[in-house]
């Protein structure tokens, strides 16, 4: 028996073909986008960059820009180098949801600790934002991998767009809440609010997204690491051997790098170069 080109498909695959999606899974997946968008809007894009560069570091000579750029670059480099291997290990060891939880917890905890920063605590702020961004971007690797599992290919574009839309709603709501706190000088409360919103709205994802495969972790850990690394290397070799895929990956890397640079430096540029008010 064959269904849509799949010979002897497993029951889970048949079920996925027969139904568009499970509402709880899709809603929880979208709510995670809502949750992490609070971090993206307040910590990465709008409020914290100016706070760190202008108040924590001091940006009269551009030193704040330098430290902020270093923090974002280092965290993104770490995720870029480790996420393919971690993704392969998670697939083979059945650890995807646990990795998602661990990276989310790292981001949430790091953002909450931002409230301990004071003027001149450059290194402490640098370390916390590196850890927070590693947590955020690392979690996204595993979060995105759930999309093909919670809906059929026919509906993936629709579900993805729902996630984007709900994510932008999270960005707007977090800024609506954060900006009055910032004007009142309540920066520690601002970071704690973002941390709490991220934690709260990510709970449904941990509750309702498909569970990890049951594994004997102690027995399979070494084998899973080896298989995950080999699978990652094989995949990269195949992609690099495909000229069209290689062009796409290089083009997307340049595009994404440009977009991310604009996002993480837009508020700093507005405050330092255009002279927009910061308080």
Residue 115 has pLDDT above 70, yes or no: yes
Residue 75 has pLDDT above 80, yes or no: yes
pLDDT, tens only, 90-105: 777 778 899 999 999 9
pLDDT at 16: 44
Looking at per-residue pLDDT, the higher value among 279 and 164 belongs to 164
pLDDT at 191: 98
Q: Which residues contact 200 (CB under 8 A, 6 or more apart)?
A: 35
pLDDT at 5: 40
Q: Which domains does the chain have, with CATH numbers?
A: 22-272 (1.20.1250.20)
Residue 3 has pLDDT above 50, yes or no: no
pLDDT at 34: 97
How far is 175 from 278, CA to CA, in rounded Å?
Answer: 14
Residue 221 has pLDDT above 70, yes or no: no
Residue whose C-alpha is closest to residue 39's, from 225, 263, 278, 252: 263
Residue whose C-alpha is closest to residue 69's, from 54, 53, 88, 80: 53
- The whole-model pTM stands at 0.83
Residue 78 vs residues 81, 125, 275: alpha-carbon distances, Å: 5, 18, 33
Query: Quick one: pLDDT band at residue 182, thresholds 50, 70, 90?
Result: very high
Residue 231 has pLDDT above 60, yes or no: yes
Q: Pull the structure tokens for residue 31.
A: 């709510």
E strand intervals along the chain: 2-3, 6-7
pLDDT at 95: 83
């Amino acid at each position: 028996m064959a269904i849509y080109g799949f010979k002897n498909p497993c029951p889970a695959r048949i079920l996925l073909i027969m139904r568009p999606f499970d509402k709880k899974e899709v809603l929880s997946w979208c709510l995670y986008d809502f949750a992490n968008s609070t971090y993206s809007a307040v910590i990465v894009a709008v409020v914290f960059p100016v706070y760190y560069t202008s108040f924590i570091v001091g940006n009269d000579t551009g030193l704040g820009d330098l430290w902020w750029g270093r923090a974002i670059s280092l965290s993104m480099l770490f995720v870029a180098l480790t996420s393919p291997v971690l993704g392969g290990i998670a697939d083979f060891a059945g650890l995807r949801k646990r990795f998602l939880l661990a990276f989310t917890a790292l981001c949430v905890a790091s953002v909450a600790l931002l409230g301990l920063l004071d003027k001149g605590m450059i290194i402490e702020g640098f370390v916390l934002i590196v850890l927070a961004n590693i947590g955020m971007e690392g979690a996204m690797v595993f979060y995105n991998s759930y999309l093909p599992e919670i809906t059929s290919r026919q509906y993936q574009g629709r579900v993805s767009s729902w996630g984007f839309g709900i994510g932008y709603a999270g960005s707007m709501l977090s800024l609506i809440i954060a900006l009055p706190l910032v004007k009142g000088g309540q920066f520690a409360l601002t970071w704690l609010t973002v941390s709490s919103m991220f934690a709260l709205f990510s709970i449904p994802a941990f509750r309702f997204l498909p569970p990890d495969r049951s594994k004997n972790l102690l027995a399979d850990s070494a084998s899973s690491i080896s298989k995950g690394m080999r699978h990652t290397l094989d995949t990269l070799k195949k992609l690099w051997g495909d000229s069209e895929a290689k062009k796409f990956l290089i083009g997307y890397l340049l595009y994404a790098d440009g977009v991310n640079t604009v996002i993480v430096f837009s508020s700093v540029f507005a405050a330092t170069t255009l002279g927009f008010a910061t308080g």
